[in-house]
Amino acid sequence: MDKDVKADIAAAMVGGPGVGGMASQNRSEDEESTGVKDVKRTAAQAFSGGGLVPKRRSSSRSIKRKKFDDELVESSLAKSSTRVKGQPVIEPIRCSGTEPSSNEKKKQISKSTTSLTPPLTMVMAPSPITKRVKKSKQPLQITKDLGRWKPTDDLLLINAVLQTTDLTSVHLGVKFSCRFTLREIQERWYALLYDPVISKLAWQAMRQLHPEAIAAIQSKALFSQAEEALLAKISSNSQPKLEVFQDLLNKNPSVFYPSRTAKSLLVHWQLLKQYYLLDDQSVQPLPKADQVLNFSDAEQMVDDAKLKDSRDEVLEHELMVADRHQKREIKQLEQELPRWQVLVDSITGMNSPDFDNQTLAALRGRMVRYLMRSREITLGRATKDKQIDVDLSLEGPAWKISRQQGVIKLKNNGDFFIANEGRRPIYIDGRPVLSGNKWKLNNNSVLEIAGLRFVFLINQELISLIKAETAKMNQQ
């Protein structure tokens, strides 16, 4: 009995732990090993694919391969992302076997873009403000540098350098509007050549100069060496007339500056003769004195105290009486001037227009007279598309005048102002009014617009009534 029980227990032990038990134990170990492998695989995917530290993919080929669905990148994120280089991008860890499809990836990317765009726009918004501030500071510095140099000085500098090709000679021989040192002249010439901003501003300012001012500046141009060489050939013993220098200009038009005249050549030849710079004077011996005596030196040598005469009281009394008499006559002529003006106007036919109660002022030209009957009128050139109050093309050729060249307004205090709204300047009594600027108009002011000249006449009686009415309104 005991033997049978022991045999059954031994068989059970052999069948359970021996065969079945070992099989179940091996199965559990295999399941544990597969589970560990799955965990390692997911961890490796997390670290290598979309984990804490992104793995950068690059290609050594010159042409990169096309991007497929598993490599989609939003272009807006690539351009506008401002993350710090080296900062990790955190993404969710996915286990193997649950790989999302391409449509799900697109949805996730679109969600990420919608969530990322607002903070990116907030970060990138302040940058254009700083750029605008920097650009606004630049013209202020330019205007500071251009303060002393006027358009006339720039034109003088350019003409003198083209004539002499020597900045030292320009510094010694040219008289500018203010005193410039040699270094300042060199810096200005360098800026006109190589600084695009300063050269453009200087060129625009020189183009606005009046033709008479340009002619006056060109007449002061320095003489070149070739011009002085031709003048030096004229003998010092001769007494040349203007015809000789005019003939010299006609024979050598390419050598002499275009603004040279026979009189200017004569004056410069006399200056060369005074300082012994003519060709035939180089052979003659110079004066014994160290310096050639000229008129200014002789004037300094004269003692003014010796030239003074004794005081004559009788002569001074007579001069004082004559001065009083002349002043009295001047006052009488000023009082009689309006009477004589009527006589002169009746003879010449240039009498002032008879204003009615509605005409505030008149703009009189050589051919046409325009009446101003409203407080604001526009000047310019009328076209089919645009009509204006004063068509200047009726006076003469107005193809250089803008369609709306200017506006004349009457203010409450009785003053007339003209505003230039065209490209070309308007000259009022010889003074240029550039585009965008205003200027006051007085009675008998002369307006010049692209070669057309007009006289601005004011109805003084009507303007005085308007002033009186505005004064009453202000008192009330």
Higher pLDDT, 448 or 367: 448
The least confident of 51-60, 76-85, 166-175, 454-463 is 76-85
Higher pLDDT, 338 or 274: 274
User: Quick one: which of 180, 149, 178 has its CA closest to 167?
Assistant: 180
What pLDDT is attached to residue 109?
Answer: 47
Higher pLDDT, 309 or 288: 309
Q: State the virtual CA torsion across 264, 270, 272, 277 in degrees, nearest 10.
A: 140
What pLDDT is attached to residue 38?
Answer: 57
The least confident of 6-10, 167-171, 331-335, 340-344 is 6-10
* Mean residue pLDDT across the chain: 74
Q: How far apart are CA 408 and CA 448, in angstroms?
A: 14
- The torsion region of residue 444 among left (phi > 0), alpha (psi -120 to 50) and beta comes to left
* CA angle centred on 174, ends 169 and 180, rounded to 5°: 90
Rg (CA), the chain: 48
* Helix (H), strand (E) at residue 371: strand 369-372
DSSP 302: S
Average pLDDT over residues 265-292: 76
Q: How far apart are CA 116 and CA 398, in angstroms?
A: 61
The least confident of 102-111, 141-150, 184-193, 408-417 is 102-111
> 417: which strand partners?
409, 440
Average pLDDT over residues 81-87: 46
Quick one: pLDDT band at residue 19, thresholds 50, 70, 90? very low
Q: If one looks up domain 361-475 in CATH, what number appears?
A: 2.60.200.20
Q: Sheet holding 431-433: strands in order across?
A: 369-372, 361-364, 452-458, 445-449, 426-428, 431-433
Average pLDDT over residues 169-197: 93
Quick: pLDDT tens for 127-174.
444 444 444 444 444 444 456 899 999 999 999 999 999 999 999 999
What pLDDT is attached to residue 300?
Answer: 74
Higher pLDDT, 285 or 471: 471
Do residues 53 and 88 lie in contact, with contact meaning Cβ atoms separated by under 8 Å?
Answer: yes
What pLDDT is attached to residue 327?
Answer: 93
**Cβ neighbours of 155 (radius 10 Å):** 20
Quick one: pLDDT band at residue 348, thresholds 50, 70, 90? low
* CA angle centred on 379, ends 377 and 380, rounded to 5°: 150
What percentage of the chain exceeds 70 in pLDDT? 63
Average pLDDT over residues 337-349: 66
Show me where the domains of the chain are located: 70-122, 139-218, 230-274, 314-351, 361-475
408: phi then psi, degrees, rounded to nearest 5: -105, 125
Do residues 470 and 413 lie in contact, with contact meaning Cβ atoms separated by under 8 Å?
Answer: yes
Quick one: pLDDT band at residue 120, thresholds 50, 70, 90? very low
What does 219-238 look like in DSSP terms, one character per residue?
A: TTPPPPHHHHHHHHTS-SSS
Helical spans, DSSP H, in 222-312: 225-232, 242-251, 262-274, 295-301, 304-307
Average pLDDT over residues 187-207: 93
